[in-house]
Amino acid sequence: MSELTDLTAAAAAERIRAREIAPAELFEAYRARAAANDLNAYTWVADAPPPDDGSAQAPLAGVPVAVKDLFCTEGVPSQSGSKILEGYRPPYTATVVAKLAQAGAPLLGKTNQDEFAMGSSNENSGFGPVLNPWDRSRVPGGSSGGSAAAVAAGLAPWAIGTDTGGSIRQPAALCGIVGLKPTYGACSRYGMIAFASSLDQAGPLTRDVTDAALILRHTIGRDRHDSTSLEFPGEIALPQAEDLKGIRLGVPEELTGAEGGIEPGVHENYNAIIALAEGLGATVEPCRLEHAPHALSAYYLIAPAEASANLARFDGVRYGLRVDGDADLITMYSRTRNAGFGPEVKRRIMLGTYALSSGYYDAYYGTAQKVRTKIAEDFHTAFERFDFIVTPTSPWTAFELGSKTADPLAMYLNDFMTVPMSLAGIPAISIPSGLSEGLPVGFQLAGPAFSESRLLDAAYALERAIGFDGSEARG
């Protein structure tokens, strides 16, 4: 167990700035661990540290970052966890990755993920499942399972992933680390291989809240290549709150009621954190999110619909897998996509196509978009009385590999507490809040659009009080 890889990213940056360690030294320590990992967390690891270009003076001091496979990285495999893009090397780099590199966080490796970000366990990857460092017979969560496992196991100082319905927050919870989904539009989506355009957002997976704030600070900003990105009002402050005095927390009955299907251990932990928060000066009251019970249904209509169109470009014509190019065009299309896509992707493409098809659009996609409006309104109303809404992140702790693959619906239920925030486009963070039967539990805080600085502050205060120790997973 190397002392170097025990440091948070911020702490490592401090040491680098104090000239106690060199960026190349830190890079190599992580690179070696990443290359040797037994969790299948990575799909590609750098060969060597990047040449020294003065990154020690840059804001992120040369601390390398693990990047989810679906971020395009020029010349480096970017496959979104799919066989249909196996070995694909894009001719350009995603804006968020470029910004991090420019801020002094070079690319350490590409992390494994559920195929096209569709999944909650990382069992849908075309390159094998990722294992949870807390218990290798269990899933790390998904779809950013590789990023979460890498950070939790000390195979990366920090990582970025994407969150569409919970794909950063849920694996963060299952792996005992911090995961943040920013306000929709805060970070550029240019270069992110798309799953659901109106929901996808890039965000950090880190060991603590301070590291998450650091990454966020250097990834936000309007990008002229992304029409849906916006200028973030103000800067991201580094968190420093020591208590929660004056903070009003809302507990949504619809999401946290016992019949919601939440594991008892998770529920217990949740109640304990609520008590802790009150002890820190917060007021906690029930709040209503009337349409939240329908969020999952709306999500599983909107996301697959957008995905069905986003994945139409994978046709074997210009890049990626091509099967039976000597057959007729339609055969080539269908055999390529049949061979290249896994079952969950196919399921969602079919679902999405159905939801958009003539005669069904109004009943399905159209209705889902209206439910979305109501959910956003519910949050808006709630935030008039509360600073943050709080829930457990995941209804259960890490489950065993293979235990939920028989029934897609069982898998979809992983997301019922994270999906509402995605639909409303508001920011939400998951922090590790304890263990239940030896497995990590996550606590979620959600705030209004652009409240990231305050959200991080509140999460920081709680994190201090909780005192979670994740070193066990780093072996």
Partner 1 sequence: MATELSHVLDHIEKIRELDLEGVPPTSHVIDVVNALRADEPEPSLPREVILAAAPERINDGFGVPTPGAA
Partner 2 sequence: MSPLTPEYEPVIGLEIHVQLSTRTKMFCGCRLSFNDPPNIHTCPTCLGLPGALPVVNARAIHFGIMIGLALGCEIAERSLFHRKNYFYPDLPKGYQISQYDVPLCRGGRLGDVRIHRVHLEEDAAKLNHLGASGRIHGSDRSWVDFNRGGTPLVEIVTEPDLRSPEQAREWPALLRTTLRQLGVSDVNMEEGSLRVDANVSVRPVGSTQLGTKTELKNMNSFRFLERGVRAEISRQIALLERGEPVMQETLHFDPATDTLTPLRSKEEAHDYRYFPEPDLVPVLATEEMLAAARADLPTELPAERAARFETELGLNADTARLFAFRTELGDYFERALAAAGGNGEQREVDPVELSNWIPQLVERIGSDADPAGSNVAPESLATLATMVKAKEVSRDAAREVLTRLVQEGGDPRAIVEREGLGALTAEDDGLGKLIDRALAADPAAVNQVRSGNMKAIGPLVGYVMRETKGRADGGEITRLIRARLGL
Hey, which residues are catalytic here? Answer: 68, 143, 167
Judged on CB neighbours under 10 Å (0-12, 13-18, 19+), 475 is exposed
Of these, 1, 3, 19, 91, which contacts partner 1 (CB under 8 A)? 91
Of these, 135, 238, 319, 339, which contacts partner 1 (CB under 8 A)? 319
Number of H helices, E strands in the chain: 15, 11
Question: What residues numbered 363-392 form the site for partner 1, per CB under 8 A?
Answer: 363-364, 366-374, 376
* Residue partners of 370: CB distance under 8 A and separation at least 6: none
Judged on CB neighbours under 10 Å (0-12, 13-18, 19+), 57 is exposed
Question: What residues numbered 388-447 form the site for partner 1, per CB under 8 A?
Answer: 407-409, 412, 423-425
Helix (H, G, I), strand (E, B) or coil at 247: coil
408 binding partner (options partner 2, partner 1, none; Cβ < 5 to 8 Å by kind):
partner 1
59 binding partner (options partner 2, partner 1, none; Cβ < 5 to 8 Å by kind):
none
282 binding partner (options partner 2, partner 1, none; Cβ < 5 to 8 Å by kind):
none
Q: Which is nearer to partner 2, 25 or 88 (CB)?
A: 88
Of these, 357, 380, 410, 475, which contacts partner 2 (CB under 8 A)? 357
189 binding partner (options partner 2, partner 1, none; Cβ < 5 to 8 Å by kind):
partner 2
300 binding partner (options partner 2, partner 1, none; Cβ < 5 to 8 Å by kind):
partner 1
Query: Rounded to an integer, what distance in angstroms lies between the CA atom of residue 348 and that of residue 301?
Result: 9
As measured in angstroms, the least distance from the Cβ of 346 to partner 1 is 7
Query: Rounded to an integer, what distance in angstroms lies between the CA atom of residue 231 and that of residue 248?
Result: 28
Asked if 95 and 223 count as a contact pair (C-beta separation under 8 A), the reply is yes
Nearest Cα neighbor of 257 from 431, 392, 441, 414 is 392
Query: Rounded to an integer, what distance in angstroms lies between the CA atom of residue 281 and that of residue 295?
Result: 31
Q: Does 228 bind partner 2 (CB under 8 A)?
A: yes
| Per-residue contact string for residues 278-297; x = within reach of partner 1 by CB under 8 A | -------------x--x-xx
Query: Rounded to an integer, what distance in angstroms lies between the CA atom of residue 324 and that of residue 333?
Result: 9
The C-alpha angle with vertex 156 and arms to 450 and 392, in degrees rounded to 5, equals 45
Query: Near partner 1 by CB under 8 A, which window of 7-15, 233-241, 323-331, 385-393?
Result: 323-331
Asked if 192 and 99 count as a contact pair (C-beta separation under 8 A), the reply is no
Nearest Cα neighbor of 43 from 133, 132, 137, 144 is 144
As measured in angstroms, the least distance from the Cβ of 119 to partner 1 is 14
Query: Near partner 1 by CB under 8 A, which window of 86-94, 135-143, 383-391, 440-448?
Result: 86-94
Of these, 58, 193, 202, 262, which contacts partner 2 (CB under 8 A)? 193
Q: Which is nearer to partner 2, 197 or 297 (CB)?
A: 197
As measured in angstroms, the least distance from the Cβ of 198 to partner 1 is 6
* Residue partners of 208: CB distance under 8 A and separation at least 6: 8, 10, 178, 463
Q: Does 195 bind partner 1 (CB under 8 A)?
A: no
Judged on CB neighbours under 10 Å (0-12, 13-18, 19+), 367 is middle
Q: Does 338 bind partner 2 (CB under 8 A)?
A: no
Query: Rounded to an integer, what distance in angstroms lies between the CA atom of residue 218 and that of residue 100?
Result: 6
As measured in angstroms, the least distance from the Cβ of 174 to partner 1 is 23
Helix (H, G, I), strand (E, B) or coil at 180: strand
Dihedral sign (CA 271, 275, 277, 281): positive
Asked if 111 and 159 count as a contact pair (C-beta separation under 8 A), the reply is yes
As measured in angstroms, the least distance from the Cβ of 50 to partner 1 is 22
Of these, 322, 335, 464, 474, which contacts partner 1 (CB under 8 A)? 322
Query: Near partner 2 by CB under 8 A, which window of 70-78, 237-245, 402-410, 439-447?
Result: 70-78
Query: Near partner 1 by CB under 8 A, which window of 36-44, 221-229, 259-267, 451-459?
Result: 221-229
Query: Rounded to an integer, what distance in angstroms lies between the CA atom of residue 119 and that of residue 234?
Result: 34
Helix (H, G, I), strand (E, B) or coil at 194: coil
> Which residues of the shown chain bind partner 2 in the complex (CB under 8 A)?
70-72, 78, 80, 85, 88, 90-92, 94, 189-194, 196-198, 224-228, 305-306, 308-309, 311-315, 317-319, 329-330, 333, 353, 356-358, 361, 365
> Which residues of the shown chain bind partner 1 in the complex (CB under 8 A)?
88-89, 91-92, 184-185, 198, 224, 227-228, 230, 291, 294, 296-298, 300-301, 316-322, 325-329, 332, 343, 346-347, 350-351, 363-364, 366-374, 376, 407-409, 412, 423-425
